[in-house]
């Protein structure tokens, strides 16, 4: 275990290199299970989340070889279609059911972990697997699935465009017999990167209009190489850091096409940005001003961006409003910000243009932020990955010292975060914490 000690209150300036996207890397590792040939993943982030996925793939029979920002992964044979537990948990194991069913007709994987940001059910994953011909049971801490008659294409209409369930459907349909049609599917850039990789492996996937995907099953997939897209959530985190500290940060590798909505929010709040061929610079020379934001599926303002962005809004003049429409319970971190001096109140009403899935259910999914409020350093415990990043940004914005424990949670998604932030002037130190036994 380790903790971070931060001395804040000064603008951060300089250049920071984005890493490969966490929410693509693990998905491509799972996709590699669909072939017996070797796959090569470039721009690969070796972080906590991909380590957990590596443990899963290793238990199923994959051989993994790491290079510099590179992973070679080959699963010549599925040695074991049952993985009952892993040393740590993330959201990935259920995604492995599709490849395991395609290659051996049976799968058993542990139930999911991941951030505590709402109930996070998996009903839509189960729905797609069953529609494609699988029998699925949940019990004793595992999901068990069988496809005694193989997987067959089907027409599936998602009641909600879930990222994970769309991925489950892609994995289970690329080797299924016949055509699968996915209506109201997720089309996040991370999904498109997965589709590009599957296409290189030999899959036939068409992007139709209006969130429709058409998949024509093929008999076999082959190995492929892919350069993982850069992490747009890292970009939004560092961009928010620039706004909150009145800094000037060049994010090498940031891509405008993945950040259009975020950049609009930067400009509306009074920040500025420059788009260069090799990255994006975000700076904040004036006092930021309050704005309203509603999170949404792509191409809307991503839920993963709202947490870091709210730190910037604590420094903005006026009353900002956030309506979170993706996760029921993603405002727990505002307690930490309030402890540091912010004035944020959360509400169960939909404070946005339109009612969302959570209307009338009592979930505290809207927030009102009064600013600007000076922040002061405090002792904080990391709640989950993105709120851990909130604590770091708030600590770097605040006067005085902030101590953040539970940093392993942050390491799940951000590679060597302290070392990278030091390069843009952050006063941040990592200390090992030893359990007294
Ligand atoms: N949902 C259901 N049933 C399902 C699946 C999802 O009701 O079977 C609900 C969820 O409870 C949630 C909403 O649908 O309220 C969105 O879930 P989705 O399936 O779209 O998200 P996910 O696949 O679980 C991925 C990312 C998240 C990111 C979301 C939205 C990974 C590992 N995680 O989650 O990233 O917020 O898509 O873009 O890819 C993060 O990186 O911090 C993170 C939470």
Given this model, what pLDDT does residue 91 score? 84
* CB distance 160 to ligand 1 below 6 Å: yes
Question: Phi and psi for 114 in degrees, rounded to 5?
Answer: 105, 180
205-259 pLDDT, tens digit each: 999 999 999 999 999 999 999 999 999 999 999 999 999 999 999 999 999 999 9
User: Which atom of ligand 1 has the smallest separation from the CA of 164?
Assistant: 23
Given this model, what pLDDT does residue 338 score? 98
Told to judge if 123 belongs to the known catalytic residues of this protein, a careful annotator would answer: no
Can you list the domains of the chain with their CATH numbers? 2-18+230-432 (3.65.10.10), 22-227 (3.65.10.10)
* CB distance 49 to ligand 1 below 6 Å: no
List of the chain residues with pLDDT < 70: 113-115, 117-119, 435-437
Given this model, what pLDDT does residue 88 score? 79
Quote the ligand 1 centre to 2 CA distance (angstroms): 28
pTM over the 0.95 mark: yes
Task: For a ligand 1 pocket test, name from 164, 303, 361 the mutation site with the most ligand atoms within 8 angstroms of its C-beta.
Answer: 164
Given this model, what pLDDT does residue 84 score? 82
Given this model, what pLDDT does residue 118 score? 66
Quote the ligand 1 centre to 304 CA distance (angstroms): 10
């Amino acid at each position: 275990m380790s903790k971070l000690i931060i001395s804040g209150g000064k603008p951060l300036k300089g250049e920071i290199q984005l890493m490969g996207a966490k929410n693509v890397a693990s998905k491509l590792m799972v996709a590699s299970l669909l072939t017996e040939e070797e796959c090569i993943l470039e721009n690969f982030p070796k972080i906590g989340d991909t380590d957990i996925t590596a443990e899963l793939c290793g238990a199923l029979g994959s051989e993994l070889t790491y290079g510099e920002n590179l992973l070679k992964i080959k699963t010549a044979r599925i040695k074991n279609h049952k993985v009952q537990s892993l040393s740590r948990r993330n959201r990935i194991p259920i995604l492995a059911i599709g490849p395991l069913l395609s290659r051996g007709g049976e799968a058993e994987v542990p139930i999911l972990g991941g951030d505590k940001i709402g109930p996070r059910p998996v009903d839509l994953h189960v729905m797609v697997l069953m529609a494609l011909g699988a029998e699925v049971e949940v019990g004793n801490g595992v999901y068990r699935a069988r496809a005694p008659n193989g997987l067959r294409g089907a027409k599936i209409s998602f009641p909600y465009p879930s990222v994970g369930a769309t991925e489950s459907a892609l994995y289970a349909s690329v080797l299924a017999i016949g055509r699968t049609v996915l209506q109201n599917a997720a089309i996040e850039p991370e999904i498109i990167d997965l589709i590009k990789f599957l296409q290189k492996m030999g899959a036939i996937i068409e992007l139709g209009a209006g969130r429709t995907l058409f998949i024509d099953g093929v008999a076999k997939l082959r190995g492929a190489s892919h350069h993982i897209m850069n992490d747009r959530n890292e970009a939004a985190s560092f961009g928010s850091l620039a706004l909150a500290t009145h800094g000037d940060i060049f994010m090498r590798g940031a891509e405008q096409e993945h950040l259009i909505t975020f950049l609009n929010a930067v400009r509306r709040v009074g920040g500025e940005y420059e788009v260069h061929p090799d990255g994006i610079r975000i700076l904040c020379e004036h006092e930021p001003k309050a704005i309203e934001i509603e999170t949404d599926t792509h191409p809307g303002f991503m839920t993963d961006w709202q947490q870091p962005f709210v730190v910037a809004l604590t420094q903005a003049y006026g009353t900002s409003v956030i309506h979170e429409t993706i996760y029921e319970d993603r405002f727990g971190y505002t307690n930490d910000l309030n402890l540091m001096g912010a004035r944020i109140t959360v509400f169960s009403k939909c404070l946005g243009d339109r009612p969302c899935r959570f209307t009338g259910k009592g979930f505290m999914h809207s927030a009102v932020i009064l600013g600007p409020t000076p922040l002061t350093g405090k002792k904080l415990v990391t709640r989950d990955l993105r709120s851990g990043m909130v604590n770091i940004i708030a600590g770097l914005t605040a006067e005085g010292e902030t101590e953040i424990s539970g940093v392993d949670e942050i390491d799940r998604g951000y590679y060597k975060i302290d070392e990278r932030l030091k390069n843009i002037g952050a006063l941040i130190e990592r200390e090992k914490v030893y359990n007294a036994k």
